[in-house]
Amino acid sequence: MSDQTNNSDALSIARAVRSDETSSVAIVDQHLAAIDASEAEIHAFNLVLADEARAAAAVIDQRVAAGEDVGPLAGVPIALKDNMCTKGVPTTCSSKMLEGWKPPYNATVVEKLAAAGAILIGKTNMDEFAMGSSTENSAFGVTKNPLDTTKVPGGSSGGSAAAVAAGFAPLALGSDTGGSIRQPAALCGVVGMKPTYGAVSRYGLIAFASSLDQIGPFSNTVADSAALFEVIGGHDPRDSTSIPEPAASVSAGLATGVAGLRVGIITELMGTGDLDGFEPEVLAQTRAAAEALAAAGATVAEVSVPSVIYGLSAYYQIAPAEASSNLARYDGVRYGVRQEGSGNTASMMMATRTAGFGDEVKRRIMLGTYALSAGYYDAFYGKAQRVRTLMINDLAKAYADFDVLLTPTSPCVAFDIGATSDPLTMYLNDVCTIPSNLAGHPSISVPYGTGQGGLPVGVQVLAPLQGEAIMFQVAAELERSANAIKTTSKNGAEA
């Protein structure tokens, strides 16, 4: 039995563990060694569960030795964003408000991961309560991009993206409300996927904006993301928004190719018209990805989705409004670290929320409360919901002519830590990812080439409701093309 295997490929690890070619304990030890070597600089984790991971891995090895089927993710280490409840393990949302809080139950995705044989290796850093695009808004420090530690990893699931990119875990879970999986995946050069709204249970996910939030995978390969999605997907009666169908099967079509498929490039998200800030290198790589799909047999053309230019404005009415409602429970009585006031309940609540929440969370609570207030509801929140409906209708028209849509994931590559002190500038990072959240559609970011400073570019594939199978099919073709380009470049350099 060998104690070495491909640590970046979750499916290879699982096969090796199931066949007893390596041990789960050895795999966990290799990843913990990587964490020990670099975590102090990168700060991907709020909590590393070294002892617990080793103990769980030992159980997996015992079950393999006994001839049991230990699941499709046998012995694979996985990192979990710190807004998913883990029984008896601190779950903080990277906020002082929940510092040290230990949930009395597991999120549904945590239960499903355990049943699939995965090993929880740690809880990852994030923008506080998932509000941000850089993982600089954490109460517990900034996460750095493993590819260049002067840069951000993106957010809000930056810790999960960084953990995969740094080799701390081959898989991670994040949550995506406006791009919080796909944007950090793009900036860290990994695969990140947002499922259809309701395809993955939100039970045990601490809510930010309930009509937008979705849990999804990070990985180094499209196949690994597909496998993880199949594990965590499916109906959950404990989530009232859960789609009442089994988990979608998406892995079978990864080798199918794209011949005969119709791919639409969204014109408004290619640096034209009213939306600016797109780096030329990002647009060039997106065009190159489209050309690669065309060369593989797809029909590729531009398509207009006019209302996407309003997505950012609508999102920053709807998401803060829902956040202001969801975060009302953190008052020092029901939830949260309690701060004593000046002798009455109102002052205690004010002291608790003042000390417990960071600046960005306070900003969004105030924005949302204002948007929902008497006299302003129709002008702000109601109008934003009408824009949301308009966008859903525009996307439906596009999908009548195309199987999937293509855009950049982020308008730029990873930017400097501390570079965007202006919240509005930070919000622009979500311009390409927000439409999928507002519509409830699935989308995936695949690394495709590099941009400014040699940093990775992510290309986004969007699909209609429950269109994950065809979306993964296209993503796999993009991955093959990107890998072929890297291999050609490497061989040319060696020559």
Q: Which range (113-127, 186-200, 327-341) has the least confidence? A: 327-341
Residue 121: pLDDT band (50, 70, 90) is: very high
Model-level pTM? 0.96
**Higher pLDDT, residue 229 or 272:** 229
User: Looking at the predicted structure, is the pLDDT value of residue 492 above 70?
Assistant: no
Residue 1: pLDDT band (50, 70, 90) is: very low
**Higher pLDDT, residue 7 or 36:** 36
Check residue 339 and give its pLDDT: 86
User: Looking at the predicted structure, is the pLDDT value of residue 484 above 90?
Assistant: yes
Check residue 425 and give its pLDDT: 75
Given the residues 95, 134, 180, 201, select the one marked as catalytic: 180
pLDDT tens-digit series, residues 194-211 = 999 999 999 999 999 999
**Higher pLDDT, residue 428 or 489:** 428
pLDDT tens-digit series, residues 342-395 = 878 889 989 899 898 999 999 999 999 999 998 888 899 999 999 999 999 999
Sign, CA torsion 23/27/28/29: positive
User: Looking at the predicted structure, is the pLDDT value of residue 147 above 50?
Assistant: yes
Angle ∠(71,72,76) on CA atoms, nearest 5: 95
Check residue 170 and give its pLDDT: 98
Backbone angles phi, psi at 340, to 5 degrees: -75, 135
Instruction: Please give the average per-residue pLDDT across 93-110, as a whole number.
Output: 96
* Three-class SS of the chain: CCCCCCCCCHHHHHHHHHCCCCCHHHHHHHHHHHHHHHHHHHCCEEEECHHHHHHHHHHHHHHHHCCCCCCCCCCCEEEEECCECECCECCCCCCHHHCCCCCCCCCHHHHHHHHCCCEEEEEECCCHHHCCCCCCCCCCCCCCECCECCECCCCCCHHHHHHHHCCCCCEEEEEECCCCCHHHHHHHCCEEEECCCCCECCCCECCCCCCCCEEEEEECCHHHHHHHHHHHECCCCCCCCCCCCCCCCCHHHCCCCCCCCEEEEEHHHCCCCCCCCCCHHHHHHHHHHHHHHHHCCCEEEEECCHHHHHHHHHHHHHHHHHHHHHHHHECCCCECCCCCCCCCHHHHHHHHHHHHCCHHHHHHHHHHHHHHCCCCCHHHHHHHHHHHHHHHHHHHHHHHHCCEEEEECCCCCCCECCCCCCHHHHHHHHCCCHHHHHHCCCEEEEEEEECHHHCEEEEEEECCCCCHHHHHHHHHHHHHHHHHHHHHHHHHHHC
Check residue 459 and give its pLDDT: 98
- CATH among 3.90.1300.10, 1.10.10.60, 3.40.50.1000, 3.30.70.100 for 10-253: 3.90.1300.10
pLDDT tens-digit series, residues 33-78 = 999 999 999 999 999 999 999 999 999 999 999 999 999 999 999 9
Instruction: Please give the average per-residue pLDDT across 96-102, as a whole number.
Output: 94
Residue 2: pLDDT band (50, 70, 90) is: very low
| Cβ-contact 405, 265 below 8 angstroms | yes
User: Looking at the predicted structure, is the pLDDT value of residue 494 above 70?
Assistant: no
Given the residues 23, 133, 134, 156, select the one marked as catalytic: 156
pLDDT averaged over every residue in the chain:
94
Specify whether 156 is catalytic: yes
Check residue 6 and give its pLDDT: 66
Residue 420: pLDDT band (50, 70, 90) is: confident
Specify whether 81 is catalytic: yes
pLDDT tens-digit series, residues 271-289 = 887 787 899 999 999 999 9
Report long-range pairs for 305-308 (Cβ below 8 Å, ≥24 apart): 305/266, 305/267, 305/268, 305/391, 305/394, 305/395, 305/397, 305/398, 305/405, 305/435, 306/268, 306/394, 307/387, 307/390, 307/391, 307/393, 307/394, 308/266, 308/268, 308/269, 308/391, 308/394, 308/435
**What are the boundaries of each domain within the chain?**
10-253
User: Looking at the predicted structure, is the pLDDT value of residue 4 above 90?
Assistant: no
Given the residues 81, 112, 123, 194, select the one marked as catalytic: 81
